[in-house]
Amino acid sequence: MNQIYEEIQELKREHNAVILAHYYVPEEVQKCADYIGDSFYLSKIATTLDASTIVFAGVTFMGESAKILNPEKNVLLPMPEADCSMAHMASAAKIKEMREKYEDLAVVCYINSTAELKSLSDICVTSANAVKIVKSLPNHNIYFIPDGNLGSYVAEQVPEKNVIPGEGYCYVHKEVTKESIEAVKKLHPEAEVLVHPECRAEILAVSDFIGSTSAIINYATESPKKEFIIGTENGVFYKLKEANPDKSFYPVAGGQTCASMKEVTLERVRDCLKNHTGEVFVDSKVQEACLIPLARMLEAGK
């Protein structure tokens, strides 16, 4: 195992590369990363790096966003086929229809989306800043794509606006059920329930805290409580435990696994650097169109 970490370090030096990893990739990949974080943190950090190559240990839309924000850099995806199914769950035709229906419409696009959807949107958001950004918009009518659960959560948090959620969903978070949370709660009655806003409304309703992966980790780390039930993807347990060795964290119903994130292996990180594979290319017109909503997000999310 140590040998592959050494190889990766050597390849990083050779190619002037830096490794970014999302909290959902396997623990051993997070261990080799220079920066680990949620989608917002990683997009922000990607714009501040001196390295000429960014290896993005995450799914397709993450590498694509990093490339859009840094067109002059080489962005490599260790597993380019590792896609987020939710990223495709909205359509150009529906966006057009909504723009015709509401004159003042703002199309707010969750970063978990294809470049095409971003290019048709007014501003991007992540789970860390969606509420704050929607609140700050001058528009009354908001079409929130693609995640219907995050969209409904934002609608509830910003009742002064007409937030119309899209119909997409994350299959990983959709699997979390009320019954499974209640079953873990029965075993650990003192535990607080921390969930991601991609979970369904009935899950958010029975939780003690709702936040992005970073927000969940920060909340647990700062809390005086000792036990937590975690309603998000299993990958967060690595940081949760590392930062809180004296606390206990329980998954729901055996835990949630994003199959695409788990395809990003240590070997694939090494191989993309070694063979310069998985390079992300974004058409220059699409890149320019996507840069606007992404840059607005970085500005508004500050």
User: Which residues of the chain form contacts with ligand 13P (CB under 6 A)?
Assistant: 38-39, 84, 112, 126-128, 170, 198, 212-213
What character string, x for contact with ligand SF4 (CB under 6 A) and - otherwise, covers 175-194? Answer: --------------------
Q: Which of ligand SF4, ligand 13P, none sits in contact with 260, Cβ below 5 to 8 A by type?
A: ligand SF4
Closest to ligand SF4 by CB, 229 vs 258, is 258
Check residue 117 for interaction with ligand SF4 (CB under 6 A).
no
Closest to ligand 13P by CB, 38 vs 64, is 38
Closest to ligand SF4 by CB, 64 vs 233, is 233
Name the one range near ligand SF4 by CB under 6 A: 129-137, 239-247, 256-264, 284-292. Answer: 256-264
Q: What is the 3-state secondary structure (H, E, C) of the chain?
A: CHHHHHHHHHHHHHCCEEEEEECCCCHHHHHCCCEEECHHHHHHHHCCCCCCEEEEECCHHHHHHHHHHCCCCEEECCCCCCCCHHHHCCCHHHHHHHHHHCCCCEEEEECCCCHHHHHCCCEEECCCCHHHHHHHCCCCEEEEECEHHHHHHHHHHCCCCEEEECCECCHHHHCCCHHHHHHHHHHCCCCEEEECCCCCHHHHHCCCEECCHHHHHHHHHHCCCCEEEEECECCHHHHHHHHCCCCEEEECCCCECCHHHHCCCHHHHHHHHHHCCCECCCCHHHHHHHHHHHHHHHHHCC
Q: Which of ligand SF4, ligand 13P, none sits in contact with 85, Cβ below 5 to 8 A by type?
A: ligand SF4
Closest to ligand SF4 by CB, 105 vs 264, is 264
Whole-number minimum distance, CB 82 to ligand SF4, in Å? 8
Whole-number minimum distance, CB 23 to ligand SF4, in Å? 10
Q: Which of ligand SF4, ligand 13P, none sits in contact with 115, Cβ below 5 to 8 A by type?
A: none
Check residue 128 for interaction with ligand SF4 (CB under 6 A).
no
Binding site for ligand SF4 (CB under 6 A): 24, 59, 84-86, 112, 170-172, 198, 233, 258, 260-261
